[in-house]
Structure 1
């Protein structure tokens, strides 16, 4: 099952990747993407083993950003692939049929390619400008999501679409109304009261029907 709320780790002056993850897990998050950038594979592997212990403790899924081999080595639930990483089908050869593989998309064509290659979900964005990512694709905005999701519906594409990139709580109902399956969040969660923020997001995501 693809969770509707996905927490993506980052570190700031208050949190490390792992302390942010633990705080989010304590608050009820059930899906964590470990996103450690600009570090060696050894450092990412060390983080991943520690993250697996935390996710096992709280009964959550761990997704490793960028590194299918590390996902396999650590026993993570799967991998999320950026636009410059290996392809979904290449990662599938490494991880096998049972692991979760997600891919980053910015266009309908990105989504079509990922679905064709067997992605389990797609992270579509960015919604708006975000400092979390250095190489930012063109910002989509709500209208961009509406157009892309409309085209996906027309083409019969059913892979879950997760909105990502600078999303605030006030944006979530409209994004759901546009047709996204769920959201991925990072700064939104760790810069606020983590417990209350996650509770509020989950309450919004539980509502079955929204209007854009």
Structure 2
């Protein structure tokens, strides 16, 4: 089932200045279509609180909220979707739990990962990392620009059709180059958080 997948996604990260829900609100205010709440070092209760507040902002601005990892929290609050890593709940099981309306994205690093996540029913895949990133531990092998081009070429030959979102270490000046390859969209974290820090100096 093809869903309306935003082309620019912001992934929240731990910040001394902005809570995850504040990051979501500020990004929606800036016009970012989609925010993924990613709280790897938090309790379920903390994630639930932040996700609920972020969803209020998403509804206010008519934007999309995705929850990283937790299909239970996504279902409980009625988020728009979830993003699942290769070692998280398999996407087909998440689909059974969540139903057809939810956007479900999956992490990938290779053409084989893309085939797997698509076969499980992913609506889009995050493919990365593009460059070295400090926001994620135990990162997969770096793909780089040529890696993206090669994977897109392989997808064309295999007739694989699924939105590919580049992720991992992407800066604002990388966006144009990446989208010119034929990638569907990009996910940003640190680069956009930096703009908040710069624009909200006391």
TM-score, normalised with respect to structure 1: 0.88
Whole-angstrom distance in 2 between the partners of 1:37 and 1:98: 25
Whole-angstrom distance in 2 between the partners of 1:131 and 1:195: 19
Contact 1:27 1:195 in 2 (8 A): no
Whole-angstrom distance in 1 between the partners of 2:185 and 2:198: 19
Unaligned runs of 5+ in 2: none
Give the counterpart of 2:145 among 126, 142, 145.
Answer: 142
Whole-angstrom distance in 2 between the partners of 1:188 and 1:44: 23
Do residues 22 (structure 1) and 25 (structure 2) align? Answer: yes
State the Cα distance separating 1:194 from its structure 2 match: 7.8
Partner of residue 2, structure 1: 5
1:96-107 mapped onto 2 (5 Å cutoff): 96-107=99-110
Unaligned runs of 5+ in 1: 197-212
TM-score, normalised with respect to structure 2: 0.92
Contact 2:131 2:169 in 1 (8 A): yes
The count of aligned residue pairs is 196
Do residues 48 (structure 1) and 88 (structure 2) align? Answer: no
State the Cα distance separating 1:164 from its structure 2 match: 0.4
Partner of residue 119, structure 2: 116
Task: Report runs of 4+ in structure 1 exceeding 6 Å deviation.
Answer: none
State the Cα distance separating 1:14 from its structure 2 match: 2.4
C-alpha RMSD of matched pairs (Å):
1.5
State the Cα distance separating 1:83 from its structure 2 match: 2.0
Deviations 1:102-143 (A, max 9, x none): 000000000000111110000000000000001211111111
Partner of residue 14, structure 2: 11
Partner of residue 88, structure 1: 91
Whole-angstrom distance in 2 between the partners of 1:160 and 1:15: 30
Contact 2:21 2:51 in 1 (8 A): no
State the Cα distance separating 1:195 from its structure 2 match: 10
Give the counterpart of 1:163 among 159, 163, 166.
Answer: 166
SS in 2 for 1:192: helix
Whole-angstrom distance in 2 between the partners of 1:44 and 1:84: 20
Deviations 1:10-60 (A, max 9, x none): 132322212111111111112110111121222211211111111111111
Partner of residue 58, structure 1: 61
